[in-house]
Every structure is written in C-alpha cells, then in structure tokens.
C-alpha cells in the first residue's frame, strides 16, 4: 500500500506511456521526456506562485502587519492577480537598447534555472533526467546564469543596469567557489557525481535512530552552512541582494525591464532558489529519506518537499531579519573566510573517512574544523574595531 502511494506518479507516467505502446521508439522517448518536463514545470510554477504569496504573508507576520488578504480566501489568489497585472502591463524597451539581447536575457536566465531543477531526485525513481555527472551538470548549466545577467545589464544600455550586472557577476563568481568546493566532501565520501547515489548513500540509520544524513557529521554540518550561505548569494536573496540594491542602483540589471520580462526575471530568481535548496536537501539533508525509520511509510516525495519548504522558510525568515551587506565586506568574507573553510571541510571529510567513519572519525573531523575555525578567527582578527571607511574615488 505504502509503496503504491510512493510510486503513484511513476506508475501514472507508465500508464500514460502504455497508451502509445505500439509507437516507434523515438516517439516514446520524446513523449516520456515531455511528460517529465510538463510535470516539473507544473509543480515548480505552482510552488513559485505559492511561494510569492506565502513570502509576503510571512514577511507581513514578522513585521507585525497583515500580508495580502484581499484576493480570495486568505489572499491565496494574489499570484493570479499579480500574473494578470504583469501580463497586461506595457512592455517598454529602451530606444538605445540592444533589442534582441534585451529580449534574450530573461529567457536564458529562466531556461537555465529550469534546467538545473532537472537533475534533483524528488522521490524514489523520480529524477527528471538521470545522468552520470548530475552534480557537474547542475553547476555547469548554472554557470551560464552569469552570462545571462551580463546580457541583461549590457543590453539595457543603462549605467544602473551595468553596475548591477557587474556586482552580480562579481559576487556570483566569488561565491561559486565555496559553493562548489563544499560539494566536494560529499562527492568524495559517496564516490559518485550522481544525485541519486548520493541520496542512496544517506539511507541508513545509526543505531536505528539517527539517520546517516551528511549534515549530522561535523564536516557535513560545516559544509551545509557554507553551502546554504553561498546559495543565498547565488540566488541574490536579501542579506546579499547587492546587485539589486533598490536604494542605490534602482533595481540593478532589471532596471530597464517591465511587465512580463520583469516577472520572468523574478521567476528565474525563485526557481534558482528552489534549485539550490533542492540540491542542499539532496546533498546534506538525506534527499527523500524519512528522518525516522518508523515514518518511512510516508511517500518519499512528501519528505523531499517538506525539507525543501523548511529551507525556503529560512530564506524568507532571513529576508525579514537581516539588512543588506556591504559589497566589500561580502567579498572579504568570500575569499578570506568561506574559501578556507570550504577547503577545511574537504580535509575534515578525508579525516573522517580514514579514521573509520565511526565515533573516532566524528571527533577527529570536529577537531579539524574547530581548529581551523578558531585559527581563522584569530588570524582575521574579527574582534578588531572596524577601521574608518576610506573613499578613494568618491568624496
């Protein structure tokens, strides 16, 4: 019974494919891919709509006010109203803009975000496309985001847009390094770049109670935090929304966009956020595995989306709580703290592996991480009073 419920979507797809059983091979392949794509888009565009209204509701709750509550019950139809508004707005393209590139930028950005969603296992046998180097695919395709943002900034022919694009590329490049290096320990321990086998490796329980998720090892916990912060930067979310910086450069690379193109940027940003959170769940939080053996009868995809929503809630929570960081401080943290700590995670994982993956390895890898962390804090002198800021180009 439970396994039937677990595999309900897989079986539904099989049933749909059985309709065209006699068709040639290529037709079945294409139909199968199309079903996957439609399912992925339907789920994540719905999640995007839900997220946009929930974010405003939660932000409102945290700032002691009501969120949107006029459209439909509890304001739940707000995304529909927003969508209609965005669609009927005038689409303004600046006269001196590069028309084609200006149009292509949001399309490329959204396409990249959707592609990266494809390699994440959403449940047992529920990966949209399984390839050997899934993790590599995620980062390879994700690295095209920078180019898309640059296209937007350059094609708009606007100083604000260009500045925003420059900032975005600078911060994305700086934080892509810790983001990728914190994935390395997991890949090292599992010995595979395939997301499905990484999830399988986290399926067991120590002593029958504690799940073997990588976040419960010292190196995994450190890598998870670093990965999450880097992911926050990659998706340009609030403590790190320097590229947009409304109070300084209007809206960064999105300044010259209006109507549905602006909405596409917004959508791409949210889809990117889902992708990074989904990868974090896959790598560190055990993917679609249940936290306790007793609860394994609950379908796997429910666990995945439960974990995903917890991470998304943290995203919203941080947005409501933290102010925007300064550009130079952010870059300093990336190169002086995040990068050395990311390398430390790799070493700590190796220590954990060679000390037998048991209690001894656990303590040794904790020691490595704590040692490097304290050494870094002393070296970087975090207690020092911040020096007066010196302006070199602007008085």
Partner 1 sequence: MNGAAFILISVLMLAGAFAAATLPNLMHAAFCFVLALLGLASFFFLLGAEFVGLALVFIYIGAVAVLIVFTILLTRRNSNEYHGINWSGVLIAGPVFGGLTWAVLKTQSVSIVPPHIQALTVKQIGQALMIGYVWPLQCVGLLLTAALIGALVLVMEEKR
Nearest to 249 by CA among 169, 163, 152: 163
Rg (the chain; Cα; Å): 23
Q: Considering only residues 19, 26, 386, 391, which one is a binding residue for partner 1 as defined by CB under 8 A?
A: 26
Nearest distance in Å: CB 137, partner 1? 6
141 binds partner 1 (CB under 8 A): yes
Nearest distance in Å: CB 299, partner 1? 30
125 binds partner 1 (CB under 8 A): no
Query: 53 or 179, CB closer to partner 1?
Result: 179
Q: Considering only residues 41, 140, 314, 378, which one is a binding residue for partner 1 as defined by CB under 8 A?
A: 140
Q: Which range in 74-82, 147-155, 238-246, 341-349 contacts partner 1 by CB under 8 A? A: 147-155
Query: 17 or 43, CB closer to partner 1?
Result: 17
139 binds partner 1 (CB under 8 A): yes
Quote the CA–CA distance of 68 and 74 in Å, as a whole number.
8
User: Tokens 């047992």 label which residue?
Assistant: 124
Query: 28 or 306, CB closer to partner 1?
Result: 28
Q: Considering only residues 114, 126, 151, 334, which one is a binding residue for partner 1 as defined by CB under 8 A?
A: 151
CB atoms within 10 A of CB 366: 18
Quote the CA–CA distance of 365 and 170 in Å, as a whole number.
32
133 binds partner 1 (CB under 8 A): yes
Query: Are 133 and 198 in contact, with CB atoms under 8 Å apart?
Result: no
Query: 190 or 281, CB closer to partner 1?
Result: 190
**β-bridge mates for residue 211, sequence order:** 205
C-alpha angle with apex 156: 153 to 159, nearest 5 degrees? 70
Nearest distance in Å: CB 224, partner 1? 23
339 binds partner 1 (CB under 8 A): no
Quote the CA–CA distance of 274 and 269 in Å, as a whole number.
9
Q: Considering only residues 6, 55, 146, 256, which one is a binding residue for partner 1 as defined by CB under 8 A?
A: 146
| DSSP annotation string for 332-357 | HIIIIIIHHHHHHHHHHHHHHHHTTS
132 binds partner 1 (CB under 8 A): yes
Quote the CA–CA distance of 241 and 247 in Å, as a whole number.
11
**β-bridge mates for residue 210, sequence order:** 206
Query: 55 or 176, CB closer to partner 1?
Result: 176
Rule CB under 8 A: which residues touch partner 1?
26, 29, 98, 101, 131-133, 136-137, 139-141, 143-144, 146-147, 150-151, 154, 169, 173, 191-193
């Amino acid at each position: 019974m439970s396994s039937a419920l677990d595999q309900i979507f897989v079986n539904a797809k099989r049933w749909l494919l059985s309709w065209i059983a006699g068709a040639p091979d290529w037709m079945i392949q294409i139909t199968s891919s199309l079903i996957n794509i439609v399912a992925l888009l339907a789920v994540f565009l719905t999640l995007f709509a839900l997220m946009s209204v929930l974010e405003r509701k939660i932000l409102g709750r945290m700032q002691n006010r009501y969120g949107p509550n006029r459209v439909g019950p509890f304001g739940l139809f707000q995304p529909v109203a927003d969508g209609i508004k965005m669609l009927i707005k005038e689409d303004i393209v600046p006269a001196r803009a590069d028309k084609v590139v200006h149009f292509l930028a949001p399309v490329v950005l959204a396409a990249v975000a959707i592609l990266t969603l494809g390699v994440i296992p959403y449940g047992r046998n529920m990966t949209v496309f399984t390839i050997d180097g899934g993790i590599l695919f995620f980062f390879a395709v994700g690295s095209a985001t920078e180019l898309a943002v640059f296209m937007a900034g350059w094609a708009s022919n606007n100083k604000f847009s260009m500045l925003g694009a420059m900032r975005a590329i600078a911060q994305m490049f700086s934080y892509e390094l810790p983001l990728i290096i914190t994935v390395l320990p997991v890949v090292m321990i599992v010995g595979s770049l395939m997301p499905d086998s990484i999830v399988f490796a986290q399926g067991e329980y120590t002593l029958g109670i504690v799940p073997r998720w990588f976040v419960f090892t010292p190196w995994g916990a450190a890598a998870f935090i670093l990965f999450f912060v880097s992911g926050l930067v990659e998706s340009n979310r609030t403590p790190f929304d320097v590229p947009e910086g409304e109070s300084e450069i209007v809206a960064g690379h999105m300044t010259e966009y209006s109507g549905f193109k602006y909405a596409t940027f917004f959508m791409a940003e949210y889809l990117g956020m889902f992708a990074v959170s989904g990868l974090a769940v896959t790598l560190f939080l055990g993917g679609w595995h249940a936290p306790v053996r007793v609860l394994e009868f609950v379908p796997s995809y429910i666990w995945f989306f439960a974990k995903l929503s917890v991470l998304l809630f943290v995203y919203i929570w941080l947005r409501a709580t933290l102010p925007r960081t300064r550009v130079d401080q952010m870059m300093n943290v990336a190169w002086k703290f995040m990068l050395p700590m990311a390398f430390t995670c790799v070493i700590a994982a190796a220590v954990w592996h060679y000390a037998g993956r048991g209690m001894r390895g656990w303590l040794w890898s904790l020691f490595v991480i704590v040692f490097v962390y304290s050494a870094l804090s002393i070296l970087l002198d975090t207690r020092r009073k911040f020096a007066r800021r010196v302006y070199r180009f602007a008085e």
